[in-house]
Amino acid sequence: MDIKVSIKMSIKRKSQLFLGLHLLLTIAILGFAVLHGIRKEQQKQVEDYLEQQTKTANVFIRQALLDRAGRPEMEGEAALGNNLARQLGLMSGMHTMLFGMDAEKTGDSMPSPDSPDVKELLPYAIQGKTAYEINGSRLIYLAPLSDGLKQIGAVGFQYSVEMNQSFYSSIQRLFVLVGALILAVSFAAGTLYYNRLSGGILKLRRSTQEIRQGRYDRAELLKTGDELGELSENIYQMGREIRRNFTTLETKQLQLEKTVQRLTRLEKQQKEFIGAISHEFKTPLTVIRAYLDLLDLYKDDAELAAQAKTSLVKETARLQEMVDTILRLAALDLYEFQDHEEIIGLQPFLGELTNRMHGKARKFGLHIHAVIPDVYVRGDREHLTIIFVNLLDNAIKFNHPGGEIRLTGCLESGKVKIRVSDTGIGIPEERRAAIFEPFSTAHKALYRELGGTGLGLALVRQLLDKQGGTIELLSGSPGAVFEVTLEAAEAAETADALGKEPDGA
């Protein structure tokens, strides 16, 4: 398995590396140029000096040869050569050597066993050329000699370059020390500047990372008064603008998602609702149409007319109830609960409702028992009335003669729970999951016989959803138990509603 390692160098390190290399290269080039110039100047001075000494030697040798021609009694060739070499050595202050055209040494101002080796240079001098080489601290210089008409040999000088080398070395050391000092000071000053510059760039980098990670208001501002400051201001404003745009987009997206979900749900409910309502409307309309046909056939049948009147009134009332309930369900999509909420005391509110339902309960030989705590809830009075009237009406319709209906409540963790239970026929297990759907009934035939529409519990659940409440079907034996949960009102809200100070004030 290949493992790739990515090594990233920060801009701060790059700046320091670039600065260091730049300074080092600058000082090195400057030092090389100066030292090279010094070396060339030393070389030129030595060459000029030795060239001058060569000219002096040529003049001296020609003069000596002229004097010897006028005085034949002078010493021999060997003595003459050494004598001339010594005199030239005294004049130049250097070890001087003389050579003939046969490359043999004819004079030496300082004869010794360690005389310099000129074998490689001498052929050039014999050919009329100037040549020299440096051996350690000694420079061996050879040049041609002439008598004014032709070359008669060569002269050699041994020149000490120790002083020049010492001067060059001292200048070299000085450049190293001064260069190191300049490098250190310049690097420190440059590092401070580049650190400030790279620090601003790193802040801009962090700002762009914050924006990339969604923290649009975390961008840093640089107050440098230059292009970096302007760039920082632009990034900061860009982050704020992006945040505003994203906030707007998120809000719109959330609204759009809710709208799409609602439309999808409504479309599904509409299809189900249209199918169910078509079926539910068909039964009473069929009954009405049948009785109208019978009355048309048997116009003089008084018993049929009475029976038809009763059935038509019953089916018409059922149709009217279904229409009213359907209109309420449709209105829930446009109704805003917040515009109608108030603080309601459950004890007097449910007490009034049970009193209104006592007449219908007694008609079926039923008794309603209500034990409601003195608590307050936030809700819509009209909707709460529809909710509990539907629940009490169902408890009356589907109860046994002589049965009971109980209305109880309690306060738990800021929630008010109200239970409506009866001793009636109950709800079969297979119908419990769909009991809150439109036109879903526990006992379909019995619902039609008693005039039910199958829309009451669907309406109850939607009304509770509108005001943040819930309804749940609990297990009951005998009968059915429905538990409604509502948000309890705060003490301060209750006090305001009653026009008194809250407890503990």
Same-domain status, 308 and 426: no
Same-domain status, 284 and 390: no
Residue 161: name the closest of 283, 254, 47 by CA: 47
Which residues have C-beta within 8 Å of that of residue 97, sequence separation ≥ 6? 85, 105, 107, 108, 109, 115, 118, 155, 156, 157, 158
Same-domain status, 367 and 489: yes
Question: In this structure, what CATH number is given to the domain that contains residue 147?
Answer: 3.30.450.20
Residue 142 near residue 119, CB atoms below 8 Å: no
The domain of 72 spans 11-176
Same-domain status, 352 and 446: yes
Indicate the number of domains in the chain: 3
Exposure of 184 in the CB half-sphere (CA atoms within 13 A):
5
Q: Is 319 exposed, middle or buried (0-12, 13-18, 19+ CB in 10 A)?
A: middle
Which residues have C-beta within 8 Å of that of residue 305, sequence separation ≥ 6? 295
End of a domain among 304, 334, 364? 334
Same-domain status, 377 and 485: yes
Residue 391 near residue 482, CB atoms below 8 Å: yes
Within a domain: residue 214?
no
Note the maximum CA span of the chain.
195
Whole-angstrom Cα distance, residue 162 to residue 42?
12
Within a domain: residue 503?
no
Per-residue pLDDT tens listing for the chain (505 residues): 444 434 455 666 777 777 778 888 888 888 888 888 988 998 899 989 999 999 998 988 888 877 766 555 545 566 778 888 888 888 888 889 899 888 888 888 888 777 788 888 889 989 989 999 988 888 999 999 988 788 889 999 999 888 888 888 888 888 888 888 888 888 788 777 767 766 667 777 777 777 777 676 666 666 666 776 677 777 777 777 777 777 788 888 888 888 888 777 767 766 655 655 565 566 567 667 777 877 778 777 888 788 778 877 877 876 776 677 666 656 655 444 344 678 888 889 998 888 888 888 888 888 889 888 888 998 888 888 888 888 888 888 888 888 899 999 898 888 899 999 888 887 777 766 667 776 555 445 445 454 555 667 887 888 888 888 898 888 766 788 889 999 888 765 665 555 554 444 3
Same-domain status, 430 and 477: yes
Question: In this structure, what CATH number is given to the domain that contains residue 320?
Answer: 1.10.287.130
Instruction: Please tell me the pTM assigned to this model.
Output: 0.42
Residue 54 near residue 155, CB atoms below 8 Å: yes
Amino acid at position 480, single letter: A
Whole-angstrom Cα distance, residue 75 to residue 97?
18
What is the DSSP track for 154-196?
Answer: EEEEEEE-HHHHHHHHHHHHHHHHHHHHHHHHHHHHHHHHHHH
